[in-house]
A and B are shown apart, each in its own frame.
Chain A
Amino acid sequence: MGQGEGMDGSCEGNLLEVRDLSLTLGGNNILRDINMDVGHGRIHALIGPNGAGKTTLIRAIMGGMPHKGTVRFHFCDNGRIGYVPQLLEFDHSVPMTVFDFLFLMLRRTPLFLSRRKPMRDEILKILSATRCEQLIDRMVGYLSGGEFRRVLLAQALVPKPELLLLDEPASNVDEVGARQFERMLIDLKEQQGHSILMVSHDMQTILRIADHVTAINRTVTYDGSPDNLSLSDLFVNVQPEVSPMVAQ
């Protein structure tokens, strides 16, 4: 039985616990004493103004940034984290289709030596999870922001993750697209049992779909139900501190 597994085999309690996480970059304290818990099977929103350290926190949770404090996962299955980044910088002229993009991530057989047919059905099925099968032969560089977000979310769902980390998943997406995206996230939580930690700027989205909110501005300024969140919680002015070494 895994750390977060209940007696009946279902997962309960916290999937992720962050304790006293602090992070310094170039002498500036980017994050200070962050404490937060993400529960199993919940949509947890991470909110804060620009430069609050949301993306840095996500990267620290993924193990990509050196930090102080602890990040503890209580997985009860494969322990996989699916990740959808905020900005994906890439060369738009590379002739890579959505099929190629997913193939590179899912298979070891060299793409140029493999047969497309058998893999095509599998990739269509993966894309159907985010309702974007029609994009399979489109070049990644020519997709709209919303289309690419769907493809990124589809790749994050395979193999099935225990935790989905979404960094502003609905940025650059129009209102209709954003609503569709919200519906998708609710379906993923309710039908697939996914746990989701999502960075978002959109208060309306958070009020509609999040179970729990943590607001940060370099440190935690609010942690609780979205219903009790006020705008003032988001703009608590926390000045960036300079580490003692730099000050000297």
Chain B
Amino acid sequence: MDFIYDIISGWAKAGYMPSIFEHTFMIRGLLAAIIIGPLLGAMGTVVITKKLSFFTQTIGNAAMSGVAIGLLFGEPVDGTYAGLYGFCLIVALLMTFVKNRSRLSNDTIIGVVLAQVLGIGIIMMIVVTSQFNIHQVEGILFGSLITLNDTDLITLAVASVLVGILFAYNFNRVMLGGFNPILAKARGLSPVALEYIFVTLMTIVVVASLKLIGALLVLVLVVVPAAAAQNVVSNLRQFVWVSVVFSSVSTALGLLLSGLVPVPSGAVIVLVSSVLFYGSLLLKPLLSKGGIGQGQV
């Protein structure tokens, strides 16, 4: 990893990049943003189609409990991977199970779980650490580049590659199942199985991106670039690619700006993606007169 840090740091020292990238933690953040941005953008299109926006938020909130469980089982403070991934996956699969077994709407089930997991997480964190460490909580809720280490970055890269491959492989079927489960079933697919696959992949990516973006803000990066793309596209192919571009720009530019002003990276990434969203609303009427909105790709 040092080899990569030296190269990028060298570019910053030579003036090819902003001087903030002379710092290793900023380079890690940039690499994380480059890896996770496009994937969150692509997966956001399915999240919007399947109306799973607040599902993502619930997984982010569950992270607090995940960290506490990790600490309880003796994992190091800066690497509670088993607790994080384990608990968030259990919450995700449980919500999907309840949704498919009950008559309650998705909205209601998420509403029941959303705040509970955060509340339980904060209580567990205090019980486990015997103190209220605001910095630990802040890091998870809002993202913290300082705490992003090499192991996090490698975990993020491996998870992103695996999830990216599985997401692309299942994209058509998951999208069809999200669009209309009855038709998917008539085509011999199992919409329920596809939903389990997608929520598992989504949970892995959300958890992997927590230190960069934060539990409270990850929802925005999943939903806003895809929503902005939806304003300016006219087919699914454009939807995915424009969302990928918007998400990549949001993460990379947001990270750069967070290096210039002392605020959490996640918050700036959210602001950049919000600017893109409102910009896309302004562009919408122009594009519908003969631009991307009417053309073919």
Interface-side segment among A42-50, A103-111, A217-225: A103-111
**In the bound complex, how far is the Cα of B188 from the Cα of A83, in angstroms?**
11
Interface residues of A in 24-63 (CB under 8 A from B): 62
What is the CB-to-nearest-CB distance from B9 to chain A, in angstroms, rounded to a whole number? 35
Instruction: Known A104-B172, A110-B171, A137-B296; judge A95-B235 contact (CB<8 A).
Output: yes
Interface-side segment among B116-124, B173-181, B265-273: B173-181
When distances are taken between beta carbons in the complex, the residues of chain B under 8 Å from A116 are 237, 296-297
When distances are taken between beta carbons in the complex, the residues of chain A under 8 Å from B51 are 91
When distances are taken between beta carbons in the complex, the residues of chain B under 8 Å from A62 are 185-186
Inter-chain contact B186/A95, CB cutoff 8 Å: no
What total of A-B pairs shows CB separation below 8 Å?
85
Does B258 count as interface, using CB distance less than 8 angstroms? no
When distances are taken between beta carbons in the complex, the residues of chain A under 8 Å from B239 are 95
Interface residues of A in 57-74 (CB under 8 A from B): 62, 64
**In the bound complex, how far is the Cα of B153 from the Cα of A243, in angstroms?**
59
When distances are taken between beta carbons in the complex, the residues of chain B under 8 Å from A112 are 42, 171, 236-237, 240-241
When distances are taken between beta carbons in the complex, the residues of chain A under 8 Å from B236 are 95-97, 100, 104, 111-112
Q: When each residue 27-47 of chain B gets 1 if its CB lies under 8 Å from chain A and 0 otherwise, what string results?
A: 000000000000000100000
What is the CB-to-nearest-CB distance from B86 to chain A, in angstroms, rounded to a whole number? 30
Kindly name the residue among A62, A83, A112 whose own CB sees the greatest number of chain B CB atoms within 10 A. A112
Inter-chain contact B235/A97, CB cutoff 8 Å: yes
What is the CB-to-nearest-CB distance from A89 to chain B, in angstroms, rounded to a whole number? 7
**In the bound complex, how far is the Cα of B297 from the Cα of A95, in angstroms?**
13
Interface residues of A in 99-138 (CB under 8 A from B): 99-101, 103-105, 107-113, 116, 137
Inter-chain contact A99/B180, CB cutoff 8 Å: no
Inter-chain contact B185/A64, CB cutoff 8 Å: yes
**In the bound complex, how far is the Cα of B237 from the Cα of A101, in angstroms?**
11
Please pick, from B172, B179, B233, B234, the residue contacting A110 in the complex, using a CB distance under 8 A.
B172
When distances are taken between beta carbons in the complex, the residues of chain A under 8 Å from B179 are 90-91, 94, 96, 101, 104
**In the bound complex, how far is the Cα of B186 from the Cα of A109, in angstroms?**
20
Interface residues of B in 74-111 (CB under 8 A from A): none
Q: List 29 A-B contacts (CB under 8 A).
A: A62-B185, A64-B185, A88-B180, A88-B182, A90-B179, A94-B49, A94-B179, A94-B230, A95-B230, A95-B236, A96-B179, A96-B235, A100-B235, A104-B172, A104-B175, A107-B172, A110-B169, A111-B171, A111-B172, A111-B236, A111-B237, A111-B240, A112-B236, A112-B241, A116-B296, A137-B234, A137-B235, A139-B234, A139-B235
Residues of B within 8 A of A (CB): 42, 48-49, 51, 168-169, 171-173, 175-176, 179-180, 182-183, 185-187, 230, 233-241, 296-297
The 10 closest A-B pairs by CB, nearest first: A83-B186, A112-B240, A100-B236, A110-B171, A104-B176, A104-B172, A110-B168, A97-B235, A95-B239, A95-B233
Residues of A within 8 A of B (CB): 62, 64, 81-83, 85, 88-91, 93-97, 99-101, 103-105, 107-113, 116, 137, 139, 155-156
Identify 18 new A-B residue pairs, CB closer than 8 A, beyond the known A62-B186, A139-B234: A81-B186, A83-B183, A85-B182, A85-B183, A91-B49, A93-B230, A94-B230, A99-B235, A100-B236, A100-B237, A104-B176, A105-B172, A109-B172, A111-B240, A112-B171, A137-B235, A139-B235, A156-B186
